[in-house]
Chain A
Amino acid sequence: DTAVSQTPKYLVTQMGNDKSIKCEQNLGHDTMYWYKQDSKKFLKIMFSYNNKELIINETVPNRFSPKSPDKAHLNLHINSLELGDSAVYFCASSPQPRAAGSTTGELFFGEGSRLTVL
């Protein structure tokens, strides 16, 4: 069973469109993240949710809106797509660092969703 799964794996779309990427984790973790990997492979955190609550919001344009319907899901919706949004978006999850049996905060990543904006 895949621990952190993202769909779709590939997404090609036109500028100006709106698109969503879905993420689900079956690890029972409380915290989920979205990271963006740009064309130079640089990974940067975008958002983090803990039990459906937003706890990290880096300086991301408000065209990006994360939504967490429950603690196992964190979706990313992007409005009015721009060329610069082309990247690989990674979802990740982690247990709470101080939870019993926690592996103290390592992140478990999905396989990524490659978004190409034309």
Chain B
Amino acid sequence: AQSVTQPDIHITVSEGASLELRCNYSYGATPYLFWYVQSPGQGLQLLLKYFSGDTLVQGIKGFEAEFKRSQSSFNLRKPSVHWSDAAEYFCAVGAVFMEYGNKLVFGAGTILRVKS
């Protein structure tokens, strides 16, 4: 069964500083990997995803993530954080089941605080 670990529960960065959120996954086959963001009181918005090909993927809002198979990691990065990036970030690993859908297993989330 797949699982996801996000080691950092909270991270605080200064506005304009760079950001890296860590994600490690466990899955027996080639994973589908996702990063979602949840702002307070909101649903989850997809930031980016990896299925195959280039291991560095670009997403919305200036985010990128790098898939490293040898480390079972899919860390999220942003070169310069904006105050509006303060939110909770979820990493997820998916497994296509029965060709019908994608069962996503989520990590526990990392809360990002941005200080001015």
Contacts and interface: CB of A to CB of B under 8 A. Distances in A.
**Do A and B assemble together?**
yes
Interface of A: 4, 30-31, 33, 40-45, 48, 50, 55-56, 90, 94, 96-98, 103-112
Given A43-B90, A105-B94, A109-B43, A30 B106 contact: no
Contacts of A40: 108
Nearest to B111: A41
B28 interface: no
B100 A96 contact: yes
Contact of B97 (A56, A98, A106, A111): A56
B42 interface: yes
A56 B109 CA distance: 23
Contacts of B98: 50, 55
Contacts, number: 77
Interface of B: 32, 34, 36, 38, 42-46, 49, 51, 88, 90, 94, 96-106, 108-109
B43 A56 contact: no
Contact of B102 (A42, A107, A110, A112): A107
Contacts of B101: 30-31, 33, 48, 50, 55-56, 94, 96-97, 105
Contact of B100 (A30, A41, A42): A30
A109 B44 contact: yes
Identify the interface centre among B43, B90, B99: most chain A CB within 10 Å of its CB: B43
A83 to B, nearest CB: 22
A41 B103 CA distance: 18
Contacts of A103: 49
Contacts of B100: 30-31, 48, 50, 55, 96
Given A42-B106, A109-B45, 11 more contacts: A41-B108, A43-B44, A55-B98, A55-B101, A56-B97, A96-B99, A97-B102, A98-B99, A105-B101, A111-B43, A112-B42
Given A43-B90, A112-B43, A56 B103 contact: yes
